[in-house]
């Protein structure tokens, strides 16, 4: 992959816009025609050239080309959110009477899509422990049309064997969809491992600056084109040209940002793992990870996200740690420049009363782009503050 060519040049027709280095922002909903003949001729190309921006917008088209190339795909679509992208892809692959297999504990709104929305339309599902290829295989039925994966999982970071599941699904004629947000296209390329469709929340690494919400899909033309002509156009979760432009800008530094988040991520994971107030750390590239070999075989990097289970006797101790952190912001989301924590105890009224499937001593931590020493020092003082 010629990474810098994709990021710096691909899809940018500079001679069409005054040789400007940065592409113009086509902030237009609409594109006009000089004659009836020209308009008549445009209809059949509605999905290929600018007509109305819910479908094709030139600024968004540049981004589509870059995302497709980064994932090694024939085509890509850009949506107004990652959830919108995932919902469109899932809905394109199931109808009433079909069955889908999904990895257990996926991103919360993927989970709700399957359990709450699809079940209302007669789509059956089985949630399985994704660490076991055998469990995934055993869940497949006659009417299974889709296997939905998320590797690593976005709360506790267990992996699925993408090559094995891809091969298994191809043999049975089942479509596979992977949420690849954790790794970005730089550190995991599922299509090359036999997966059919890749989804990302572009709100995370792809845009990288915590200033917009967006999503993408990438895959073969045969899969992406029907999604565009149906779910993409009817649900209308299209991205605003301004947000697409910001993602183009974010992509320019994606390799540098991924490198920094990864080196900080590993340093923080190794530091926390040896600390007496930490029970366990889940980070794909820690040698203690039971799936370390699999992680190394299908990912080229592990970014900044991890799960940390504190050794604490009470929620209050966890709160002392969280509230003492000065350089980690407390928030959802991740993948930006800033380090973050998401304390699961925020879903608990007390140790015995919670609405999360995860335990109250779990903290999801994202190491951002700060200096490594700054992050380690902040964690050290916050762990001491636990008492
Ligand atoms: C954030 C996230 C999503 C949802 O994306 P939005 O852009 O917030 O809609 C999906 N999957 C994963 C793994 C995420 O982290």
Which pLDDT score is estimated for 387? 87
Residue 86 above 90 pLDDT?
yes
C-beta of 184 in contact with ligand 1 (< 6 A): no
CB 67 within 8 A of CB 218: yes
The CA radius of gyration of the chain, in Å to the nearest whole number, is: 22
CB half-sphere exposure, 118, CA atoms < 13 A: 29
Q: Give 118's contacts (C-beta < 8 A, 6+ positions apart).
A: 90, 94, 100, 125
The packing angle between helices 372-384 and 254-273, to 10°, is 30
Q: Does the Cβ of 151 fall within 6 Å of ligand 1? A: no
pLDDT score of 100: 98
Residue 375 alpha carbon to ligand 1 centre in Å: 25
**Ligand 1 pocket check: which of 102, 160, 201, 306 to mutate, most ligand atoms within 8 Å of Cβ?**
201
Per-residue pLDDT band for 188 (boundaries 50, 70, 90) equals very high
Mean pLDDT score of the chain: 97
Atom of ligand 1 nearest to the CA of 84: 9
Mean pLDDT, residues 278-301 taken together: 98
Strand order in the sheet with 340-343: 278-282, 305-310, 362-366, 340-343, 329-330
Tell me how far apart the alpha carbons of residues 317 and 323 are, in angstroms, rounded to a whole number.
10
- The set of residues, in sequence order, having a beta carbon less than 8 Å from that of 332 and lying 6+ positions away, is 342
Q: What is the mean pLDDT of residues 276-299?
A: 98
pLDDT in tens, 355-374: 999 999 999 999 999 999 99
Choose the residue to mutate in 204, 304, 335, 365 for probing ligand 1, maximizing ligand atoms within 8 Å of C-beta: 204
Q: How confident is the model at residue 138 (pLDDT cuts 50, 70, 90)?
A: very high
Read off the DSSP letter of residue 117: I
Q: How far, in Å, is the centroid of ligand 1 from the Cα of 244?
A: 17
Q: Is 178 near ligand 1, meaning CB less than 6 Å away? A: no
The tokens describing 129, both together, are 């422990």
Question: Is 181 close to ligand 1, i.e. is its CB under 6 Å away?
Answer: yes
Confidence of residue 304 (pLDDT cuts 50, 70, 90): very high
Rounded to an integer, the average pLDDT of 107-115 is 97
Sign of the alpha-carbon torsion through 27, 30, 36, 37 = positive
Query: How do residues 4-55 score in pLDDT, each as one tens digit?
Result: 999 999 999 999 999 999 999 999 999 999 999 999 999 999 999 999 999 9
Give CA–CA dist 29/240, Å, rounded. 9
Give CA separation, 144 vs 95, 138, 311, in Å: 11, 11, 42
What was the pLDDT predicted at 382? 98
- For residue 215, give the ligand 1 atom closest to its CA: 7
User: What is the number of helices (H) and of strands (E) in the chain?
Assistant: 15, 14
Centre of ligand 1 to C-alpha 2, Å, is 27
Provide the pLDDT for residue 1.
82
């Amino acid at each position: 992959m010629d990474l810098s060519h994709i990021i710096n040049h691909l899809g940018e027709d500079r001679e069409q816009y005054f040789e400007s280095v940065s592409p113009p922002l086509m902030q237009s909903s609409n594109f006009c025609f000089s004659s009836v003949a020209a308009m008549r001729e445009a209809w059949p190309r509605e999905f290929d050239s600018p007509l109305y921006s819910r479908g094709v917008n030139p600024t968004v088209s540049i981004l589509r080309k870059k995302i497709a190339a980064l994932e090694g795909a024939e085509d890509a679509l850009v949506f107004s959110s990652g959830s919108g992208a995932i919902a469109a892809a899932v809905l394109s692959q199931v109808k009433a009477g079909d069955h889908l297999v999904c990895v257990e504990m996926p991103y919360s709104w993927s989970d709700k899509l399957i359990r709450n929305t699809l079940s209302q339309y007669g789509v059956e599902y089985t949630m399985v422990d994704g660490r076991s290829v055998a469990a995934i295989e055993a869940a497949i039925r006659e009417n299974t049309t889709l296997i939905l994966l998320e590797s690593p999982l976005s709360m506790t970071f267990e992996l699925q064997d993408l090559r094995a599941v891809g091969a298994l699904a191809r043999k049975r004629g089942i479509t596979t969809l992977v949420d690849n947000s954790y790794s970005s296209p730089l550190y995991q390329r599922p299509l090359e491992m036999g997966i059919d469709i890749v989804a990302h929340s572009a709100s995370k690494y792809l845009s990288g600056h915590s200033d917009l919400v967006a999503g993408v899909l990438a895959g073969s033309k045969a899969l992406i084109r029907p999604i565009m002509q149906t779910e993409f156009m009817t649900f209308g979760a299209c991205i605003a040209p301004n947000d697409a432009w910001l993602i183009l800008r974010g992509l320019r530094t994606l390799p540098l940002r991924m490198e920094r988040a990864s080196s900080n991520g590993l340093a923080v994971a190794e530091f926390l793992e040896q600390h007496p107030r930490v029970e366990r750390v889940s980070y794909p590239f820690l040698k203690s990870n039971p799936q370390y070999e699999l992680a190394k075989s299908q990912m080229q990097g592990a970014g900044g996200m991890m799960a940390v289970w504190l050794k604490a006797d009470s929620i209050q101790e966890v709160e002392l740690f969280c509230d003492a952190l000065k350089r980690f912001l407390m928030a959802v989301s991740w993948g930006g420049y800033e380090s973050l924590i998401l304390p699961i105890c925020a879903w608990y009224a007390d140790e015995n009363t919670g609405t999360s499937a995860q335990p109250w001593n779990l903290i999801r931590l994202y190491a951002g782009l700060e200096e490594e020493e700054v992050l380690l020092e902040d964690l050290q003082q916050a762990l001491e503050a636990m008492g």
